[in-house]
């Protein structure tokens, strides 16, 4: 856990952004997680259920393992079903075929961070390593494509919440907003930017990292 100064308002904000931004929304899915007019039964794609759309993607990947677009979308469906391991496997399969996919690398980093947070209670000894791997994957995504905005946003959340590196988070959030001022996470990014800027200005705030250990700043 970050010691000394933490961030009070940041705690509430992180809870929101982790739920709303670190989990992808499926095509046609509402903010509540429902799909179309009837959740799970008749979505927006020609009346197909979520299960039917996922099956189509699984069939497409089985028929053509190099169909990277289907793999990326299938990963989101697997995540929505709570299968983070299978979702991560799909992102890794994309990278095995296209090592320059900043999207797959960034999403893999995001999944690893979600896994770290889920491991706090059931496997706390693994949490630090998962957080480090998450940041490493997000770093790699930005090495592949420094202009890929979502990787900036995801990394800002992790380094601020887990390492207290508010300066790095501030830079990532600023670059995200320059690249995607109307992006999917723009509203949350502006709120988070205000919080990390306040922290840098000396406003004490406590945070909610994944473990009670103290990590050095990266």
79-113 residue pLDDT tens: 888 888 999 999 999 999 999 999 999 999 999 99
Q: Which residue has the tokens 């020609």?
A: 46
47 Rama sector, left if φ>0, alpha if ψ -120 to 50, beta otherwise: left
Nearest to 102, CA basis, from 73, 136, 67, 145 = 145
Question: Tens digit of pLDDT for each residue in 143-172?
Answer: 999 999 999 999 999 999 889 899 999 999
Is this prediction's pTM over 0.85? Answer: no
Name, in order, each residue with C-beta under 8 angstroms of 91's C-beta and a sequence gap of 6 or more: 71, 72, 75, 104, 105, 107, 108, 111
Query: What is the band of 19 on the pLDDT scale with cuts at 50, 70, 90?
Result: very low
* Angle at 137 (CA atoms; ends 132, 143), nearest 5 degrees: 125
Q: What is the pLDDT of residue 98?
A: 97
Q: Is the dihedral of CA 89, 39, 44, 50 positive or negative?
A: positive
- The whole-number pLDDT of residue 15 equals 38
Compare 19 and 54 and report the one with higher pLDDT. Answer: 54
CA 18 to chain centre: 8
Separation of alpha carbons 25 and 216, rounded Å: 33
pLDDT of residue 203: 63
CA–CA distance, 133 with 113 (Å, rounded to integer): 8
Q: For the chain, give the DSSP string.
A: ---SS--HHHHHHHHHHHHHTSSPPPTTB-TTS-BTTBTTTB-TTTT--HHHHHHHHHHHHHH-TT-HHHHHHHHHHHHHTT-HHHHHHHHHHHHHH-TT-HHHHHHHHHHHHHHHHHHHHH-GGGHHHHHHHHHHHHHHHHHH-TT-HHHHHHHHHHHHHHH--HHHHHHHHHHHHHH-TTSTTHHHHHHHHHHHHHHHTT-------SSSSPPPP-
Tell me: pLDDT of 47 over 80: no
Q: Where are the domains of the chain?
A: 48-99
Q: How far apart are CA 158 and CA 108, in angstroms?
A: 13
């Amino acid at each position: 856990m970050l010691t000394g100064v933490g961030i009070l308002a940041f705690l509430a904000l992180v809870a929101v952004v982790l739920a709303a931004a670190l989990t992808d929304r499926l095509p046609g899915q509402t903010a509540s997680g429902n799909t179309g007019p009837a959740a799970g039964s008749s979505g927006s794609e020609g009346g197909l259920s979520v299960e039917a759309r996922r099956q189509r993607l699984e069939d497409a990947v089985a028929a053509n393992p190099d169909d990277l677009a289907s793999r990326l979308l299938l990963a989101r469906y697997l995540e929505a079903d709570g299968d983070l391991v299978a979702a991560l496997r799909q992102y890794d399969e994309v990278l095995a075929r296209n090592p320059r996919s900043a999207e797959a690398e960034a999403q893999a980093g995001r999944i690893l961070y979600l896994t770290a947070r889920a491991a706090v209670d059931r496997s706390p000894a693994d949490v630090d390593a998962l957080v480090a791997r998450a940041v490493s994957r997000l770093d790699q995504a930005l090495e592949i494509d420094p202009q890929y905005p979502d990787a900036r946003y995801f990394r800002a959340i992790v380094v601020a919440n887990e390492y207290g590196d508010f300066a790095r988070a501030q830079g990532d959030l600023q670059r995200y907003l320059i690249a995607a001022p109307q992006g999917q996470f723009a509203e949350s990014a502006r709120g988070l930017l205000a919080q990390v800027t306040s922290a840098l200005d000396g406003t004490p705030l406590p945070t909610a990292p994944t473990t009670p250990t103290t990590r050095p700043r990266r």
